[in-house]
Structure 1
Amino acid sequence: MPQPLTIWAVSDGRVGIENQALGLAEAVQELTASTIVVKRIRYSSLYDRLPTALKLWPDAMLSERSDSLDAPYPDIWIAAGRATVPFSSRMRKRSGQRTMVVQLQNPRHNLKAFDLVIAPEHDHVRGKNVLSLIGSTNRVAPHRLEIAYENWRDHIDNLPHPRVCVMVGGRSKAYDIDEKRAHALAIEIRSAIQQSGGSLLLTVSRRTPDNARRVFEDVLHDLPGIIYDGKGENPYFAFLYAADHFLVTEDSVNMATEVAGTGKPLQILPLERRTLGSGEKFEDFHETLRAKGIAHPFNGILADGHYNSAHTAYPPLNETKRAAEHLLTMYLARRP
């Protein structure tokens, strides 16, 4: 009987980044017996902001809060985020070529340092060892969403349909949201939900400026529904399960990809672009979703869609499973 594979899911611990690595690891686990170990890399404050090229002695730069990255090394190393690159690029040598190294996103590093790079199509990463995906890998799976919903059933079951989930990102290199834009969006969202006779499921991210968050809460607070304020258990997966319709700000590939995994109606909320030409990669991503009938722009009206969770507007997007199958095929071909 073969031993289960050991998989390390490595990141800097930020939820959005960690879930990409963990989601892919869990998808591999669905295909073959595996033990998953979550590893979080944290550099000391002195070195944290250094570019990857200057992290020449990464082990010595770690803080005491970082998990151990010492041997025995895993069969498969799945890493996401720039903080992991100094270790990912050294892992094959450290493990004596035993560990298969998988790097997610665009590593902005010599691709030959990795066995497999899994990057979003809109990043335009090219190479013999590159697999391009629509969006990002994630943890969205029906059984996981259903389990999460059980903890929120008493709060959500009686909310009127359509249940409209609003996912707000915020400030990034490409986008921003100020009070004025937040207020305009909130007014449109309020009107759309009231016209539909539905309810609100609102969640904001850590990147949402406080003033914008307060605007959404003030304008939408009296609608039937739930406004998650960041305290207590996160209802994010429960919202994915329960909502009939999604409105997602255009700055987040992760959130849009996760919604696309449900097969439910998705509309994109516009934000302010910080500079001329910024956000072009996001526009490529949204264009792909539009071409597949997954996403539509939001103009103050909920797009036509089935508001019954038993129906889907399009086949659920499952790029994580495709990536897991590709990864495992490579692994077995190299290490039968």
Structure 2
Amino acid sequence: MSHTRIRGGSLSESTGVHPPLVIWIVSDGKPGHVNQSLGLAEALARATPTEIHTRPALPAWRAWLSLLLKRLPDNTLPKPDLIIGAGHATHMTLLAARHAHGGRAVVLMKPSLPRRGFDLCILPQHDGVAADAHTLVSEGALNRIRPSMTRDSNHGLFLIGGTSPHFEWDSDAVQVQIKSILARTPETHWTLTTSRRTPADFLALLPQHSNLSVVPHTATSPGWLPEQLAQSSTVWVTPDSASMVFEALSAGAEVGVFDLPVNPRSRVGRAIAHLADAQRITRFANWCAHGTLHPNTHPLAEADRCADWILKWPRTR
């Protein structure tokens, strides 16, 4: 399955120097991983004319066979310049596709295979890998969110995660913090949504409040969260939802993070601590003490930064 979009800058169109950049996204079917790949591909498309195609990852045995035979099954796509994938299930297909059709294999997130097997690696800082000539370290996982110019100063968003290996979940503690924020911000209308990891009884225990609307994750569409992030001037996130923290920072919102006990060995926990130390986010305890959130004066634009890095490499065809 493939979809194609041609977008981007006019330099190549006006000079005729290059055909559109052809990108293959290898998908493992997980929305979070696909959004990382699309975030990078769309940033590239904003910079240069681009075709974006998506194909599913092959089962491991079939990817190995394709690598050996130098041939992908049922392939009708144009030869790629870049083959992008996020998630361990995409890695062998990335390599098989490059071996069969050329282009550069770009892996997002720390791969399960040796990094030297890929042409370019873009890894979030919390993966703990140092940058080198072929590795770029990003602030968090890439995403498709862009800064919004339509934020409503009276609209806020609560993003509630749940059980994870990174933080000790405590529904009572999160609800106490929500009640405190609601009580101290009567002029703000808040929207709260949950995730697949939120305990089933969390919403039942959450008391009703006049300035709070609740939208369970089961009632949201794929475009719901980006629309909410574009409207919200303030976003509070549970710290286990690291990807949501980085999306809120990319949207330009001021970001608060609820307090939960952290697993001291958690890389996600260290990433949240780094953001707090850099005054990118505000922990709940600090907000209680000072009553304000750190301003988000420089929204994250990591997908665009990574696209610029990639475009500095010469094309392979």
Q: Which residue of 2 aligns with 1:12?
A: 28
2-side partners of 1:238 and 1:313: how far apart? 18
Aligned pair 1:130/2:135, yes or no?
yes
Amino acid at match of 2:160: V
Q: Which residue of 1 aligns with 2:155?
A: 163
Aligned pair 1:212/2:195, yes or no?
no
Q: Which residue of 1 aligns with 2:93?
A: 87
Q: Which residue of 1 aligns with 2:270?
A: 284
Encode CA deviations 1:245-280: one digit per residue, 9 max, x unaligned: 11111112211111111332211123455xx5342x
- Counting only pairs closer than 5 Å after superposition, residues 263-278 of structure 1 correspond to structure 2 as 263-273=252-262, 277-278=264-265
Contact 2:182 2:211 in 1 (8 A): no
- Counting only pairs closer than 5 Å after superposition, residues 291-306 of structure 1 correspond to structure 2 as 291-299=277-285, 301=288, 303-305=291-293
Q: Which residue of 2 aligns with 1:257?
A: 246
- Counting only pairs closer than 5 Å after superposition, residues 1-336 of structure 1 correspond to structure 2 as 1=16, 2-41=18-57, 43=59, 55-58=60-63, 70=75, 72=77, 73-95=79-101, 98-126=102-130, 127-142=132-147, 162-177=154-169, 181-197=170-186, 198-215=188-205, 218-219=206-207, 221-229=208-216, 230-234=218-222, 235-273=224-262, 277-279=264-266, 281-299=267-285, 301=288, 303-305=291-293, 313-330=296-313, 333-335=314-316
- 3-state SS of the aligned residue for 2:162? coil
- 3-state SS of the aligned residue for 2:34? helix
2-side partners of 1:19 and 1:324: how far apart? 15
Contact 1:5 1:35 in 2 (8 A): yes
Amino acid at match of 2:55: K
Alpha-carbon spacing, 1:193–1:4, altered in 2? closer, same or farther (3 Å) = same
TM-score by length of 2: 0.81
Contact 1:264 1:314 in 2 (8 A): no
Q: CA deviation at 1:93?
A: 1.3
2-side partners of 1:168 and 1:39: how far apart? 32
TM-score by length of 1: 0.76
Amino acid at match of 2:280: I
Task: Flag as ranges the 4+ runs of structure 1 deviating above 4 A.
Answer: none
- 3-state SS of the aligned residue for 1:326? helix
Contact 2:108 2:123 in 1 (8 A): yes
Q: CA deviation at 1:42?
A: 7.0
2-side partners of 1:172 and 1:70: how far apart? 39
1-side partners of 2:184 and 2:202: how far apart? 24
Encode CA deviations 1:267-308: one digit per residue, 9 max, x unaligned: 1123455xx5342x12321233223321121137384149xx
Greater shift, 111-120 or 189-198, is seen at 189-198
- 3-state SS of the aligned residue for 2:248? helix
2-side partners of 1:196 and 1:322: how far apart? 35
Encode CA deviations 1:11-58: one digit per residue, 9 max, x unaligned: 222222211100110000000001112333375xxxxxxxxxxx3433
Amino acid at match of 1:29: A
Contact 1:167 1:249 in 2 (8 A): yes
Contact 2:28 2:89 in 1 (8 A): yes
In structure 1, the gaps of 5 or more residues are: 44-54, 62-66, 150-156, 307-311
Amino acid at match of 1:277: P
2-side partners of 1:243 and 1:114: how far apart? 38
| Number of equivalences | 289
Contact 2:125 2:271 in 1 (8 A): yes
Contact 1:293 1:314 in 2 (8 A): no
Aligned-residue RMSD, C-alpha = 2.8
